[in-house]
Amino acid sequence: MPSIQPEPPVHPVQRAKGPWAMKAESYMLFMRLKELPKGVYDPLQEEWSDEENGKFQGGLGAVMVVRYLDTPVGPYDELILVPGNFAVPQPASGLPKIPKRALRISRIYVSQRTTVYNGRLNWNIPKHLARFEFSAPTTPVGSSPPSSLTIQVFPPDSKDGDGMAPFFKCTLTPWRWIPAFPANTAYVPLSLLNVQPPLLEPAARLTAAEFESELDTSIDAYDISKKNEEALLVGTERWTGFELQAKCKARGCWVEMGQEQERPDGVGEEDGKWWPNGLKPWSVGAWMEGGVFEIAEGLEWKL
């Protein structure tokens, strides 16, 4: 069925429509928020905080780090914030049938340009660029995971050794004394539907996209410079709903978060610029190896 979202006149990067099938290793940090902290949305998506776009209703939330090894646009890393459930404004026609509340990806960073553009255009996922560092490689199938894994995520334009502090840092210690067990989201007794409001785009995005499309040499897909991000921040006109289906081998892990003083912004008016303050995931998380993921085209509607 054709999308109700018009295609932009120019694509600055490779176009990759859904569905997507992917392979990845991932880690999930669970939490419950009573209210939304400052910085839960990027400034470009700040209007999502308006109640007309769905009031926050709490429930189980998560921070998820995904290391994609194979996707339709190549490998990349991802940091996702799902605060919990939000009320879902219902379409006037009553179609498609959607729940009255659902999960929402409020903030998300990736290490690759092509997935920024396509994630926004396909599913209203508000992706932005960042730099990732991991203290150990992904775990080969049949091998034991490392004794621990430290994950750091830095603002775009940062470089290794430049002294810039990460805006997100955690250390995970996988439970190696018990084997990983098969897991499948199809058997999770909770709704995993994500519903995403429409996205705004920068005023000069199309101009930037046209300029990039005319370059003699393409910008490297893993160039995370902020100046080259604007062309990718495509806006949308419709709401979307989708589920991420996953099969993997899962085990528990201990979670230790980095200290707040490691934030690049410190405190003050820019506090929460890159990532919300005060998120306190549980000390027990999930470590998922050999994952096979699929994200469908999803539902679309306008209010």
pLDDT digits (tens, 9 = 90+) for 210-237: 999 999 999 999 999 999 999 999 999 9
Q: Please report the pLDDT score of residue 96 as a whole number.
A: 77
Provide mean pLDDT across the span 9-15: 96
Give the pLDDT confidence of 251-294 residue by residue, as tens digits: 999 999 987 544 444 433 456 899 998 899 999 999 999 999 99
Q: Give CA separation, 70 vs 78, 202, 293, in Å.
A: 13, 30, 10
Is this structure's pTM higher than 0.75? yes
20-301: CATH, from 2.40.400.10, 3.40.50.300, 3.40.50.10320, 3.10.20.30:
2.40.400.10
What's the chain's average pLDDT?
Answer: 92
Contacts 24+ apart (CB under 8 A), 143-151: 144/176, 145/174, 145/176, 145/251, 145/287, 145/289, 146/174, 147/173, 147/176, 148/172, 148/173, 148/174, 149/27, 149/173, 149/174, 151/27, 151/65
94 pLDDT above the threshold of 90: no
Provide mean pLDDT across the span 240-252: 94
